[in-house]
Amino acid sequence: MASIQLTHAPILNSSAQLLILPVNTAGILLDPILTRAKTLFPDNYQRYHRACRDGSLHVGSCLLHRRMREQAGLAASSNGNQPSHIANLVISDHPYHSARMRWLTAALIQLREQLIPLIRYQGMRRAALLARPLIYNTTRQHSPATAHLANAVQPDWATETLPLLMQHLQDLPKLRIDIHVPKHFDI
């Protein structure tokens, strides 16, 4: 059984071996944490952006990236507490569109399939998931043209998204998953 905890700690300071980042197929990252991850992990961003550009990345998929060791001076560095893998969960087709439950479900199923060998054969024990892109902001104002789309696809965090995450991730063996939520959310 996986140990799943909600936390307010900054995800980019996490000591997790795997970062799970919700992204879109447009290759545009608007979330401040995702843009910071873009500069911290350029190898992941280049692979993700290339997959967006060539059309090989589809909504409801998971692009798992194994990070290369960085070179520092004459010898390779230990990479400190940086993750060895980054999972790009493709949950929407555009940064202004919220995640749909069927896309999130499909992406989580692919993530599970890719995590099992990492847990079994490579000893992965800690993962961190960025929750902010999965939380729909109901106070956001929409134009009349997009209002019907926003109302149709806005999953509720507490009643739909979080239970879906728990359902798909809780039975992963020997894994601790920290779900990083914004500070204004109660834990």
- Distance separating alpha carbons of residues 61 and 57, to the nearest angstrom: 7
Of 58-62, 153-157, 175-179, which range is least confident?
153-157
Q: Is the pLDDT of residue 64 over 60?
A: yes
DSSP per-residue codes, 93-115: SSTTSPPPHHHHHHHHHHHHHHH
- Distance separating alpha carbons of residues 165 and 135, to the nearest angstrom: 12
What value does the mean pLDDT take over residues 52-77? 79
3-state class (DSSP) for residue 176? strand
| % of residues, the chain, pLDDT over 70 | 83
Q: Is the pLDDT of residue 173 over 50?
A: yes
**pTM for the whole structure:** 0.86
- Please provide the average confidence, as pLDDT, over all residues in the chain: 87
Question: What digits encode the pLDDT tens for the residues 110-150?
Answer: 999 999 999 999 999 999 999 999 987 554 444 445 444 44
Closest to 44 in 3D by CA, of 99, 95, 82: 82
The residue assigned the tokens 């990083």 is 180
- Residue 142: per-residue pLDDT: 46
Question: What digits encode the pLDDT tens for the residues 90-115?
Answer: 999 999 888 899 999 999 999 999 99
